[in-house]
């Protein structure tokens, strides 16, 4: 039974309604600072913490609840010994704690926030209240967010605020404080790394400055959805979102997203984002089987589909433009698992609901950096831990936690390695091909013409094998096309195969011991070649 409740909240949403019902149920209210004032202003009888402890708030409110009269009341078990000891010191037990914390994550989401202002939003007393109440869940109930108020009141009315319910609420409180501490540690870790010029990973082997990764990684994520299964039916799976991160995707209609849908969706959504022109990517197993730009999204779709219409069956379609009725009509009878776009017209949604009921319709959003969650990085599991790297879209100087898109690649930053430089049209196509190849599994080769892929060779164990697959897929369309390779050509055979298929220009990172041989072969074959100095492996 709840006789006395301690309330100390930063977010006062729903506070007065909660306290009013608690008071009506005969619960004595104790509150700190601004919470007490809000309750008193609402006409409720409330005892201030300072009256309970007999000690004023000090240090500008930094110290107010850290007192034996507070924590003794929370940590005492319901045993005769503990309750007797409380009575000796004139302390009455507290049965309910309602507390939420200073808005640290919201504060540091502003990249211009000063370190002093951020540190002032690190809650001490609130975290201690939550932990004390949660530790003593055998007797004490704890609620850490306004979203939990309705369930608390409902259980009080129904008499079901039992041990099991208190334990679940205690778990939520510990999860809340763990995520809060993880946010602080991650933010502070990035600040310390930025200040520490002695870190061994601040330069690569060429002496180029690198983004600094923190010495330790603190992750907090909340489960969004339990999935039917993982990559295969015998594997369990769930979808989690970093705490504090805004949703990247919203399912507007269609069946629930599967594990494989989400993996492909994440890959597909990124592909058109680097391009300003209307762009469509058609994706299977995280690789584009077609990607193109056009005057409209419909034209871009037609050109992307032409690359490999067979593989497009069961694909995911991503575009950087609004999907309208004309786009849905053009997709026609093609079986599509997901369509993702920044927006959909009402007419498009209605047509999809009528004609493609099994197609998932997904709203894609740009995710704002939280600075306390690992957005802008790629994590991959190992048997004993994880690998972490900044994503391939970041500039080298971008921070570990902030998502910063790399600047648009400038032709002047690429070196013409061959005797013949690319024509204006070849240069434009090479730039498009370079934006595509970074999204393809290594070894990756893509053939493009006129702002559209015509052949894709993905995930091969040899580079010449990737060229052969891309050229075979392109057929006659390879003639006059350009080629992008995600990494250097170790031998001239890849270029020779490309030239035989009709490729006229190539873009590749360079860096092989045999670069001179490769360039000589390109000159012999009449190819133009850019070397970018940047590799795009995607394992």
Q: What are the residue numbers of the active site?
A: 135, 285
Q: Which two tokens stand for residue 241?
A: 């979102």
Q: Which two tokens stand for residue 255?
A: 């069946």
Candidates 383, 421, 373, 362; CA nearest to 222 is 373
Q: How many CB atoms lie within 10 A of CB 48?
A: 18
Bridge partners for 483 per DSSP: 447, 506
Q: What is the DSSP letter of 276?
A: S
Q: Which two tokens stand for residue 201?
A: 């990973």
Rounded CA separation 17/150 (Å): 10
Candidates 444, 442, 426, 440; CA nearest to 506 is 426
Phi-psi sector, 314: left (phi>0), alpha (psi -120 to 50), beta:
left
Rounded CA separation 507/431 (Å): 8
Q: Three-state SS across 504-516?
A: CEEEECCCCCCHH
Rounded CA separation 129/372 (Å): 23
Question: For residues 163 and 171, is the Cβ–Cβ distance under 8 A?
Answer: no
Rounded CA separation 65/69 (Å): 9
Cis amide linkage into residue 443, ω under 30° from 0: yes
The DSSP-derived string for 78-103 is SSHHHHHHHHHTT-----EEEE----
């Amino acid at each position: 039974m709840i006789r006395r409740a301690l309330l100390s909240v930063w977010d006062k949403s729903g506070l007065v309604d909660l306290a009013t019902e608690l008071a009506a149920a005969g619960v004595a209210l104790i509150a700190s600072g601004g919470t007490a004032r809000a309750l008193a202003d609402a006409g409720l009888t409330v005892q201030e913490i300072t009256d309970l402890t007999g000690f004023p708030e000090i240090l500008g409110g930094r110290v107010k609840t850290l007192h034996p009269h507070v924590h003794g009341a929370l940590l005492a078990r319901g045993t005769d010994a503990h309750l007797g000891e409380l009575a000796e010191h004139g302390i009455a037990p507290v049965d309910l704690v309602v507390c939420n914390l200073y808005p640290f994550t919201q504060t540091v989401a502003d990249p211009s926030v000063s370190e002093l202002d951020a540190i002032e939003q690190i809650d001490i007393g609130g975290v201690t209240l939550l932990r004390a109440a949660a530790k003593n869940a055998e007797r004490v109930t704890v609620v850490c967010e306004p979203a939990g108020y309705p369930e608390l009141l409902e259980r009080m009315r129904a008499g079901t605020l039992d041990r099991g319910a208190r334990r679940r609420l205690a778990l939520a409180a510990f999860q809340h404080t763990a995520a809060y501490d993880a946010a602080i540690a991650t933010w502070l870790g990035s600040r310390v790394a930025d200040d520490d010029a002695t870190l061994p990973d601040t330069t690569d082997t060429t002496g180029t400055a690198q983004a600094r990764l923190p010495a330790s990684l603190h992750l907090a994520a909340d489960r969004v959805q339990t999935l039917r299964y993982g990559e295969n039916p015998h594997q369990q799976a769930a979808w989690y979102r970093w705490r504090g991160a805004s949703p990247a995707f919203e399912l507007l209609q269609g069946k629930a997203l599967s594990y494989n849908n989400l993996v492909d969706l994440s890959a597909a959504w990124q592909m058109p984002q680097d391009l300003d022109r209307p762009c469509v990517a058609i994706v299977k197993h995280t690789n584009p089987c077609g990607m193109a730009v056009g005057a409209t999204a419909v034209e871009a779709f037609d050109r992307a589909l032409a690359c490999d219409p067979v593989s497009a069956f069961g694909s995911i379609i991503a575009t950087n433009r609004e999907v309208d009725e004309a786009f849905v009509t053009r997709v026609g009878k093609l079986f599509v698992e997901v369509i993702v776009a920044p927006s959909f017209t009402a007419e498009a949604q209605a047509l999809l609901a009528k004609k493609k009921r099994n197609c998932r319709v997904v709203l894609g959003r740009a995710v704002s950096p939280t600075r306390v969650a690992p957005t802008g990085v790629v994590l991959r599991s190992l048997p004993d831990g994880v690998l972490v790297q900044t994503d391939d879209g970041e500039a080298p100087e971008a921070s570990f936690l902030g998502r910063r898109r790399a600047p648009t690649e400038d032709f002047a930053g690429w070196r013409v390695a061959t005797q013949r430089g690319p024509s204006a049209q070849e240069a434009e196509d090479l730039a498009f091909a370079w934006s595509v190849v970074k999204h393809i599994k290594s070894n990756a080769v893509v053939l493009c013409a006129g702002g559209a892929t015509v052949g894709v060779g993905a995930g091969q164990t040899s580079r010449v094998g990737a060229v052969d697959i891309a050229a075979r897929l392109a057929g006659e369309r390879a003639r006059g096309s350009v080629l992008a390779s995600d990494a250097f050509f170790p031998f001239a055979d890849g270029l020779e195969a490309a030239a035989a298929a009709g490729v006229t220009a190539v873009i590749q990172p360079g860096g092989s011991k045999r670069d001179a041989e490769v360039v000589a072969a390109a000159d012999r074959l009449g190819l133009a070649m850019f070397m970018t100095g940047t590799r795009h492996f995607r394992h």
